[in-house]
DNA sequence: CCAACGAAGAGAGCAGTGCTCTTGCTTTTG
DNA sequence: CAAAAGCAAGAGCACTGCTCTCTTCGTTGG
């Protein structure tokens, strides 16, 4: 990671970046399955075989894009986390969820790459697990902060079944020893459920079902916040949501 | 739809079925992106071009498989709905959700086809919308029956924002005029959230996070039942869940 | 300063893909 | 029975991921 590089090394990182950029562009316009190495090379004015100097295979290019996507959506969530420091926990929860959702609707194909069907025979390598966890960890941080401030209530729902408790206890010991085990379990469920709503929106399942997707998402995120034990903020936010910046009627599928 | 068919017509439907069957087999073993018309034809002992007599394009084959998949998971849900008639609403809710989940983990690639990333430039045709709604309608039926029996409580969560209420009201008028609007909104959210958990499980996001996936799913489904206003069944189901038939430790990604 | 080394690009080529078009054959139908 | 329609086969086009060889050129050690 030296700042000073030889011309060669410099060129390499630049070309690598250009390849990823062009690949991302094609990803957005064609979708992952139609991403073509040759087309990327063509667009970059190089021959297809030259691309293999930078990525040993198409799957490796995918891996790079996947990591970037995880990092991007994770960064969005973390930024919302940081920006909302000091706010009511439920509102922070909604802000973090909303940041992830907004990134997803802005980058549907990259989102599909990471939260959609796993690519063919391709097993996600180990490098992806840390970036993949960033959004989840941001949610954990919201709840952890609430706990630290003494405003974390008990999660809703019936008592945990044995195996679920065991899983949650293991998780808790790894990433948030201070949080109650049932809270962790509720957190994991909420995490998956948030992405369920995002996926339905991005993948078109809400077409002709839900139009006001931004407000709908916020509504659901608020319910999930309550589910994990974050009390709703005092004031009734019931209506309005003005300046929401949401294009409700827009068709999603390209 | 005449029962009696000429030999030719009969052969046609048989070949069509054989193609879909073989395609499904390849789908299961290779994944959607690697499904190859030529390979299907090869396996069936015919030449690739002959396949185009039955499906005008690869996308049309996909469409057929998608409809079948929607119908299969929908049928599974409806069967659970019928089988649970008379049980406590919350338990019926869980049963229907669980049926959909079980089908999904048993047919991960078909599930990915319908609830994963939409295929490349392929816009789902209108034929898919009815089959696609079957699981959702089964969930609506559970809640509708509970309402009819007078055991439906109010949904949890804050009051609806204006646009959300409008969407939900429209939906309610279309498919369940008897249900309260907030219930419909909660139902739609719960519907998406159920599939969020299923997708995370099927797509491998729960690897090294949740191991007892069956019980975990039931836990979350129970919480969602409460969310839409279905009171938990009397007895404490807290532990046990024996004979669960869940292979907890199994690696998911092929 | 220059020679050796290694990284990078070019091009040909392989096996595979979706899809089209033409050519024959068989079944159905008027 | 002959015409029409349905169907399989084969050749072929343009494309894909990937490998191999060959040449060029920046970097670096003596």
What does B93-112 look like in DSSP terms, one character per residue?
HHHHHHHHHHHHHHSHHHHH
Range picked from A9-13, A99-103, A125-129, A227-231 for highest mean pLDDT:
A99-103
Helix extents (H) in B176-212: 181-202
Is the separation of the CB atoms in B73 and B100 below 8 Å? Answer: yes
Identify the three-state secondary structure at position A6: coil
**Residue A230: strand pairing partners:** A152
* CB of A181 less than 8 A from some CB of B: no
Determine the distance in angstroms separating the CA of B177 from the nearest CA of chain A, rounded to an integer. Answer: 15
* CB of A241 less than 8 A from some CB of B: yes
User: Number of C-alpha atoms within 13 angstroms, CB side, residue A198?
Assistant: 30
pLDDT at B30: 85
* CB of A16 less than 8 A from some CB of B: no
Residues lower than pLDDT 50 in chain B: 1-2, 235-254
Instruction: Identify the DSSP state of A88.
Output: -
Instruction: Quote the CA–CA distance of B247 and B254 in Å, as a whole number.
Output: 15
Residues 128-157 of A with CB under 8 A from B: 129, 132, 156-157
Residues of B in contact with A115 (CB under 8 A): 199, 203, 205
Tokens coding B13: 């439907």
Q: Mean pLDDT over residues A238-243, rounded?
A: 40
Instruction: Quote the CA–CA distance of A142 and A93 in Å, as a whole number.
Output: 6
Q: Mean pLDDT over residues A135-141, rounded?
A: 97
Residues of B in contact with A117 (CB under 8 A): 31-32, 112-113, 116-117, 203
Instruction: Quote the CA–CA distance of B18 and B21 in Å, as a whole number.
Output: 5
> What percentage of chain A has pLDDT greater than the value 90?
74
pLDDT 10s digits, B99-113: 999 999 999 999 999
Which residues are CB-neighbours of A100 under 8 A, at least 6 positions away? A73, A76, A77, A135, A194, A195, A198
Dihedral of the CA atoms B126, B128, B132, B138 (nearest 10)? 90
Q: Could you say which of A30, A163, A211 has the minimum Cβ distance to residue B167? A: A211
Find the closest chain B residue to A117 by CA distance. Answer: B116
Band (pLDDT 50/70/90 cuts) for residue A237 is very low
Report the largest interatomic distance among the alpha carbons of chain B, rounded to a whole angstrom: 62
Domains and CATH numbers, chain B: 1-56 (1.10.10), 65-228 (1.10.357.10)
Q: Mean pLDDT over residues A134-152, rounded?
A: 95
**Residue B152: strand pairing partners:** B230
Which residues are CB-neighbours of B11 under 8 A, at least 6 positions away? none
Is the separation of the CB atoms in A23 and A59 below 8 Å? Answer: no
pLDDT at B11: 84
pLDDT at A122: 61
Tokens coding A186: 């509720």
Cβ of B219 and A164 within 8 Å? Answer: yes
**Ramachandran bin of B57, using left for φ above 0, alpha for ψ from -120 to 50, beta for the remaining angles:** beta
Determine the distance in angstroms separating the CA of A195 from the nearest CA of chain B, rounded to an integer. Answer: 6
Cβ of B197 and A197 within 8 Å? Answer: no
pTM equals 0.89
Dihedral of the CA atoms A232, A233, A239, A244 (nearest 10)? -100
Residue A252 has pLDDT above 60, yes or no: no
Residues of A in contact with B123 (CB under 8 A): 253
Tokens coding A203: 């993948």
Which chain D positions have some atom within 7 A of a protein CB? Answer: 6-12, 15-21, 26-28
What does A176-197 look like in DSSP terms, one character per residue?
-TTS-HHHHHHHHHHHHHHHHH
* CB of A118 less than 8 A from some CB of B: yes
Q: Mean pLDDT over residues A84-95, rounded?
A: 95
Instruction: Quote the CA–CA distance of A195 and A111 in Å, as a whole number.
Output: 10
Q: Which is nearest to B61 in space by CA: B117, B21, B106, B1?
A: B21
Cβ of B219 and A160 within 8 Å? Answer: yes
Instruction: Quote the CA–CA distance of A240 and A225 in Å, as a whole number.
Output: 20
User: Number of C-alpha atoms within 13 angstroms, CB side, residue B95?
Assistant: 20
Q: Mean pLDDT over residues A150-169, rounded?
A: 92
Which chain C positions have some atom within 7 A of a protein CB? Answer: 7-13, 16-22, 27-29
Tokens coding A132: 């993949």
Report the distance from CA of residue A44 to the C1' of nucleotide C10 in Å, as an integer.
Answer: 14
Residue A128 has pLDDT above 90, yes or no: no
Find the closest chain B residue to A253 by CA distance. Answer: B123
Instruction: Quote the CA–CA distance of A197 and A213 in Å, as a whole number.
Output: 10
* 3-state helix/strand/coil string of A23-72: HHHHHHHHCHHHCCHHHHHHHCCCCHHHHCCCCCCHHHHHHHHHHHHHHH
Tokens coding A199: 């996926």
Instruction: Quote the CA–CA distance of A74 and A137 in Å, as a whole number.
Output: 9
* CB of B245 less than 8 A from some CB of A: no
Q: Is the CB of B13 under 7 A from strand D?
A: no
Instruction: Quote the CA–CA distance of A73 and A104 in Å, as a whole number.
Output: 7
Q: Mean pLDDT over residues A145-166, rounded?
A: 92
């Amino acid at each position: 990671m030296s700042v000073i590089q030889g011309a060669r090394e410099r060129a390499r990182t630049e070309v690598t970046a250009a390849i990823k950029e062009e690949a991302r562009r094609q990803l957005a316009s064609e979708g992952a399955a139609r991403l073509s190495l040759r087309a990327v090379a063509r667009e970059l004015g190089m021959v297809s075989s030259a691309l293999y100097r930078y990525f040993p295979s198409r799957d490796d290019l995918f891996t790079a894009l996947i990591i970037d996507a995880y990092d991007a959506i994770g960064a969005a969530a973390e930024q919302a986390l940081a920006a909302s420091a000091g706010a009511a926990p439920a509102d922070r929860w909604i802000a973090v969820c909303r940041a992830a959702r907004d990134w997803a609707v802005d980058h549907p194909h990259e989102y599909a790459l990471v939260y959609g069907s796993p690519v063919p025979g391709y097993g996600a390598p180990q490098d992806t697990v840390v970036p993949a966890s960033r959004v989840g960890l941001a949610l954990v941080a919201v709840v952890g902060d609430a706990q630290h401030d003494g405003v974390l209530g008990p999660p809703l729902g019936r008592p945990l079944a044995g195996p679920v408790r065991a899983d949650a206890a293991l998780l808790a010991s790894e990433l948030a020893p201070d949080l109650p085990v049932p809270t962790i379990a509720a957190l994991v469920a909420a995490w998956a459920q948030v992405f369920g709503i995002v996926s339905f929106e991005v993948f078109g399942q809400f077409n002709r079902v839900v139009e006001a997707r931004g407000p709908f998402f916020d509504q659901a995120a608020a319910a999930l916040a309550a589910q994990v034990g974050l009390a709703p903020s005092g004031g009734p936010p019931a209506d309005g949501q003005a300046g929401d910046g949401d294009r409700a009627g827009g068709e999603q599928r390209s």
